Amino acid sequence: MDASIYTTPKVDCHCHVLDPNSFAYAGDVAYRPAGQETGSADYFLQVLDAYGVRHALLVGPNSGYGTDNRCLIDAIARSHGRFKGIAVVANDAPASQLQELKAQGIVGVAFNFALHGLDHYRQIPPLLGRLAEAGMFVQVQVHGDQMQHLAAQLADSGADVLIDHCGRPDPVQGTGAAGFSALLGLAGTGRVTVKLSGFSKFSAQQFPFADTDAFPRELLAAFGPDHCIWASDWPFLKAPERLDYGPLLQLFATAVPTPQDRVKILWDTPMRLFGFAKA
């Protein structure tokens, strides 16, 4: 065990607050997280304190809330500067809505191609342009080879891009698969950052997900620590088996053995990207 991972300053760059007791789920969502899949903002702040995590980038979940960002915005407000957020909006969201969200601590918008498919987002190029104009991130979750159909659009959008969970590649196809190769090709834009996270979402094995080892290694080599960030994915929606915060930190320490790279990925890069106050 590497105990230094707990004392290194950290930002968790993909996590959710699901609090159906305070914010009822939307009526039209396909999945309603329950039990240990949920967690309030106050509880999550205690989790962060326990592991020495100073800030977090909260992601509005399609599960439970859909485009209802009230729980997300409330969590940001009660965090006193520790949280910023990625919202979920309609594909035709106007610039005025983006500016209103930005004023409330939202730094980008999530597009979940892995859940909704490519066709659901056919009409988003104008929204991508509005996000670029607003200086907000386009956050993308894909799986398999979806990225080969999106890479050119993302590169041409002019927006800064966040890629969820290593691009959720297929371990059977390996690092040479079309989707993962397309993701690696985005490194040259200088506007794309990858989250080294979510191994359970694309692994066919149990913890420590050994069949995913090559993917963060290739991503770090291509993008460098200035364009890689770490995330827990707490509270682990639809996890196929039990997950815990501490072992995931240890898994990151194994995947990134160089201390200087760890500090950049865990702290320097997310602090620069998302503008958290260092105090």
pLDDT digits 0-9 by tens, 209-235: 999 999 999 999 999 999 999 999 999
CATH class of 4-274: alpha beta
Mean pLDDT of 246-262: 96
Residue with tokens 């995931």: 248
* 8 A C-beta contact, residue 249 and residue 51: yes
Mean pLDDT of 167-189: 97
Q: Is the pLDDT of residue 72 over 80?
A: yes
Q: Where does residue 179 rank: exposed (0-12), middle (13-18), buried (19+ CB within 10 A)?
A: buried
pLDDT band at 36 (very low <50, low <70, confident <90, very high): very high
What's the pLDDT score for residue 2?
Answer: 85
User: From CA 70, how far away is CA 249, in angstroms rounded?
Assistant: 29
Mean pLDDT of 35-48: 97
Mean pLDDT of 242-266: 96
* Residues forming beta bridges with residue 253, ordered by sequence position: none
Q: Is the pLDDT of residue 98 over 90?
A: yes
* Residues forming beta bridges with residue 161, ordered by sequence position: 138, 192
pTM for the whole structure? 0.97
As given in the structure block, the two tokens for residue 60 are 């509005």
* 8 A C-beta contact, residue 127 and residue 156: no
Cα angle at 163 between 66 and 269, to 5 degrees?
115
Domain ranges, ordered by start, for the chain: 4-274
Tell me the angle at which helices 147-156 and 178-185 cross, rounded to the nearest 10 degrees.
20
What's the pLDDT score for residue 27?
Answer: 87
Strands, E assignment, 1-105: 10-15, 53-59, 83-87
Q: Is the pLDDT of residue 3 over 90?
A: no
* Residues forming beta bridges with residue 110, ordered by sequence position: 139
What's the pLDDT score for residue 69?
Answer: 98
Q: Is the pLDDT of residue 279 over 60?
A: no
Tell me the per-residue pLDDT of 109-132, one tens digit each, with 9 for 90 and over. 999 999 999 999 999 999 999 999
What's the pLDDT score for residue 171?
Answer: 97
CA atoms within 13 A of residue 105's CA, in its CB half-sphere: 25
User: From CA 42, how far away is CA 198, in angstroms rounded?
Assistant: 23
What's the pLDDT score for residue 278?
Answer: 67
* 8 A C-beta contact, residue 277 and residue 19: no
